[in-house]
Amino acid sequence: MKKLLSTTAIAGLLISGSAFAQTTITGEMRINYKGVSQDVATGTTPQSGRGFGTEQQINFANKGKLNVGGLDYAAGFSIENDGAQVGTLFNENMYIDITNASAGTTLSFSQDHIQRSDSDRSAAVIFGFSPNELSSGGNTTLFDQTASVGTGASQSVAILQKVGNFGTVSYNYAPTTTNQVTTTTTSGVGNSESFTETDEESSYEVGFTGSLGVAGLDVAAFKSKQKAMLGTSGINNTVKPESDHFGIRYTTGAVSFGAAQKKYNQDAAAVKIENKEKHYGAAYAVDKNLSLGIVHATAERTLLLEKQKTTGIQLGYNLGPVALVTSVAKSDDVGGVQGADNKVFMSRLVGAF
């Protein structure tokens, strides 16, 4: 009976605390269409494909004050379904943040939540289409959607510090890391009470995002590293996964320019295979509803002497409660295979609520 009373008391505290908090529910739905036309390396047998895709996401967020030290807190999670998703629907934007507002310091226990390197400050993604999406087709593209060790996509603990109007510095630590291939799926297994770690080791990521005090400027810089990645043979690789990311975007009036550079190695490989990506983009807002953009990106694997480039134009139109985004892109030597060129058409309807 004593245990029951104690448990009930704790539950009562949690329930009563919600009366001082603010809860919001938001969501987004996407309907995509993609068509790909690709030549094989010989240029004699074309490959093509087309189809629809969908994505739905619901976000639950709660914020308020703790009853200790006047600290703020924010907590939430998202339910996301990417098409007919096979894995969990609960591995994105899960967090409990504790913030000292006067000091600008936040302690975050989270997954897929804080600032991290698998973002892109180039104007290429203003429209929501990445070089990875614009080039994927018959051959596997050299562009990587994550292009990082994956600390931020793993269950981790982080500290973020605001530095005046310059930006925010962050340090993020994950005891078991999501690698760049299996994005947002931790490598450890087990339930919420008895987590079992694999032989894969921890990782960290140090980052900065901010304007440096310049209006219209958005800068990002990240360095991440992992002690060891569990290889396909079942033992830790001698190669240590690591990634560097730098991006910059500047907006003046109706025009935006951006660039990003990413350098990372394939963490599941037995030898170090370094990848480099460079993204460039520009966008112009014709009016409050219509925007136009151009993107150019290159990718290479230095050890294997593989290269690929992608160039596309993009259009976005605001229909009020729904946005329409369309892009046409051409890629050369997809997957680093000479002669494997493709053309991609993508269109997306986005509705938020």
Cβ(185)–Cβ(178) below 8 Å: yes
Residue 88 main-chain phi, psi, to 5 deg: -65, 150
Task: For residue 272, tell me if it sits in a domain.
Answer: yes
Cβ(32)–Cβ(56) below 8 Å: no
Task: For residue 10, tell me if it sits in a domain.
Answer: no
Task: For residue 22, tell me if it sits in a domain.
Answer: no
Task: Give the tens place of pLDDT for each residue, 256-285.
Answer: 999 999 998 865 566 778 899 999 999 999
Distances (CA, A) of 298 to 40, 105, 139, 259, 307: 20, 37, 16, 12, 7
Task: For residue 257, tell me if it sits in a domain.
Answer: yes
State residue 123's pLDDT score.
58
Element (H, E) at 133: helix 131-135
Task: For residue 322, tell me if it sits in a domain.
Answer: yes
The CATH number assigned to the domain holding 138 equals 2.40.160.10
Q: Which residues contact 165 (CB under 8 A, 6 or more apart)?
A: 211, 213
- According to DSSP, residue 241 is labeled P
Cβ(89)–Cβ(60) below 8 Å: no
State residue 286's pLDDT score.
95
State residue 2's pLDDT score.
40
Cβ(212)–Cβ(167) below 8 Å: yes
Task: For residue 11, tell me if it sits in a domain.
Answer: no
Q: How many CA atoms lie within 13 A of 129 on its CB side?
A: 35
- 83 CB burial (10 A radius; 0-12, 13-18, 19+): exposed
- According to DSSP, residue 269 is labeled S
* Long-range Cβ pairs for the range 101-104 (8 Å, 24+): 101/72, 104/161, 104/162, 104/163
State residue 197's pLDDT score.
56
Task: Provide the residue-wise pLDDT of the chain in tens; the chain has 353 residues.
Answer: 344 433 334 343 344 444 446 889 999 999 999 999 887 655 555 567 888 989 999 999 999 999 998 999 999 999 988 877 777 787 789 999 999 999 999 999 998 899 988 777 775 667 778 888 888 876 688 888 777 788 888 889 999 999 999 999 999 998 877 554 433 334 444 444 545 555 667 889 999 999 999 999 999 999 999 887 665 555 556 778 889 999 999 999 999 999 999 998 865 566 778 899 999 999 999 999 999 999 999 999 877 788 999 999 999 999 988 999 999 999 999 888 888 888 999 999 999 88
* E strand residue ranges, 121-268: 156-163, 167-174, 189-190, 195-196, 203-210, 217-226, 242-252, 255-265
Cβ(167)–Cβ(211) below 8 Å: yes
Task: For residue 14, tell me if it sits in a domain.
Answer: no
What is the number of domains present in the chain?
Answer: 1
Cβ(325)–Cβ(291) below 8 Å: no
Residue numbers of the domain that contains 345: 27-188+198-352
Structure tokens at 20: 């001082």
Taking the model in full, what pTM does it have?
0.84
Task: For residue 6, tell me if it sits in a domain.
Answer: no
Cβ(30)–Cβ(353) below 8 Å: no
Residue 204 main-chain phi, psi, to 5 deg: -140, 160
